[in-house]
Structure 1
Amino acid sequence: MTLETTPTQFVEAAGTRFSYRWLGPRVGIPLICLQHFSGNMDAWDPAVVNALAKDRPVIVFNNAGLGRSSGTTPDNVAQMAADAARFIAALHFSKVDLLGYSLGGMVAQVLAAEHPKLVRKLLLVGTAPQGGEEHLMEVLKEAQSHKEAPDPRLPLFFTPSAASQAAGVAFLKRASARTDDRDPDSSQAIMGQQAKAIIGWCATKDPGNKILSAIDQPVLIVSGSNDTMLPDSNAYFMFKHLKNAQMTLYPDAGHGALFQYPERFVNHTELFLSE
């Protein structure tokens, strides 16, 4: 089963009905995927998720209020992390790895800091630490000005270069391959709540780096060299302040670096998780 064909499942946790898809084997440490602003399960790249699921369980899911999950989308990262923890507990996982992308990377940091026995390793992709630098609304406004773009993710996630845009078009084709049982798009209300969470996370200074300091687990940090939404300076800051981190920057890449270089990202991820 692949991201394009795996059926959507549901699990109840403390009054919330979470929607999810399980790819790969049923044994091994699962990789829990935490999605970006406005994204749902169908916004993941099949080239990334399917390849990672060849050797390990991979779980994509919609957090509270997203897609066909019930509940309300929170306006803060702390509650999103609490909701994600409830989902993981409902599947009875005692040990997980986390792939946190963008907003999902912020959620992953809180999960790793607050649940050290649960989280084994984490990947932080295109994200920022608490108090980090963000240009969400500015970048969204810029992307919306590109009326010629067939999808706002092209200017949002990829650089203006021909190579990056071509990679973006290929990603969009892969991400639209699933035709049945697709998630509903996020509403303006949901995106408004998520925008508040990202802006609030970055506006809340953490001079003591309490969250990063509490993360003892191995971390792989990935960023695009030209990420305009959450700049690569965030990646370097996390690298410098985490106890056990490695970092890689992908060239000529924006916020969607993992989608621009899916094979490279999968190779780096598999090496990191298998070490």
Structure 2
Amino acid sequence: MTLLDTASRDAATLETTPTRYIEGRAARFAYRRLGPSTGTPLVLLQHFSGNIDAWDPAVVNALAADRPVIAFDNAGVGRSTGQTPDNVEAMARDAVDFINSLGLSKVDLLGFSLGGCVAQQIASEHGALVRKLILVGTAPKGGEEHLLMVLQQAFSQTDAPDPRLPLFFTTSDPSRSSGLAFLKRTKVRKDDRDTDNGNAVTDPQAKALITWCATPDPDHEILRAIRQPVLVVSGSHDTMLPADNAYVMFKHLSNAQLALYPDSGHGALFQHHEMFVSHVRTFLDAEAIAA
């Protein structure tokens, strides 16, 4: 019996499934696993400053309806031990350590924001491990980012109930309403919630993301090394990692599809969660087209 079969998870949701732990070489990793016990697991790689409970249950639970889904804290984040690295390459090594510790030989990856940078690094280096790749609200190496400026603007809006509202959503009424609904969904879980480790996480993660985007890759070597099918998703008004990044990735990846969502910011996958889940399911279930 494998780790993925240790308990029945038919009724598990992100809000109710217990947090589990596994020892890796780099850390003792905290994770939640839901969905069926068979099929290619979809491993979620989280955004800057985020932990397991920052994922939207509307996205995670819907994706887990027909496939295994694993949300985890990388080294130093949330309830995982270890130290948060200040570079994407080390974050990728830690994530692969986690995947290997679970005994998984083939996974799909969903990388959001900083997690999308980590996902690119993993897919470019571990072609046999990654089956398909979903990159959301992220940037290629050498891409465009406005992290510090956008964070400063978001935290200056003292009337916002949560900085993720101005960070992830636009100022339109529909987008703001979707943002408030998203925030409500992320707070449903009351017991066994993940922890916020503050500057010990955000300082090195900010350095990692800024360095990734500031490091030129004129020949797009990372993107050209990714041979797996890729779904690239972005919001039309992403102020943190603008949608131009999505088009660059789409152009230079050998086997990519591109989806741009209307009137949406960095959190487009949460605002348009039903459409996003539908796109992801169609992408993951489709037969791979040779690159």
TM-score by length of 1: 0.99
**Cα deviations by residue, 1:174-232 (Å, 9 ceiling, x for unpaired):** 01000000011131231011000000000000111110000000000000000000000
C-alpha distance in 2 between matches for 1:102 and 1:115: 20
Shift of 1:145: 1.1
Which residue number in structure 1 is paired with residue 55 of structure 2? 44
Which residue number in structure 1 is paired with residue 264 of structure 2? 253
Shift of 1:133: 0.1
1:175 partnered with 2:186: yes
Shift of the 160–208 alpha-carbon distance from structure 1 to 2, 3 Å rule, reads same
C-alpha distance in 1 between matches for 2:65 and 2:197: 29
Counterparts of residues 1-275 of structure 1 (less than 5 Å) = 1-275=12-286
Give SS of 2:33's match. strand
Give SS of 2:258's match. strand
**Cα deviations by residue, 1:109-138 (Å, 9 ceiling, x for unpaired):** 000000000000000000000000000000
Question: Percent of aligned positions with the same letter in both sequences?
Answer: 66
Q: Is the 8 A contact 2:45 2:118 kept in 1?
A: yes
Counterpart residue identity of residue 87, structure 2: N
Give SS of 2:61's match. helix
Counterpart residue identity of residue 34, structure 2: L
Q: Is the 8 A contact 1:37 1:191 kept in 2?
A: yes
**Cα deviations by residue, 1:149-168 (Å, 9 ceiling, x for unpaired):** 01000000000001000000
TM-score by length of 2: 0.94
Which has the higher mean CA deviation after the structures are superposed, 15-24 or 157-166?
15-24
Counterpart residue identity of residue 254, structure 2: K
Q: Is the 8 A contact 1:219 1:244 kept in 2?
A: yes
Q: Which runs of 5+ in 1 are unaligned?
A: none
Q: Where do 4+ consecutive residues of structure 1 move more than 3 Å?
A: none
Q: How many residues align?
A: 275
Give SS of 2:100's match. helix
Counterpart residue identity of residue 252, structure 2: H
Shift of 1:78: 0.2
Counterpart residue identity of residue 138, structure 2: T
Counterpart residue identity of residue 71, structure 2: V
Q: Which runs of 5+ in 2 are unaligned?
A: 1-11, 287-291
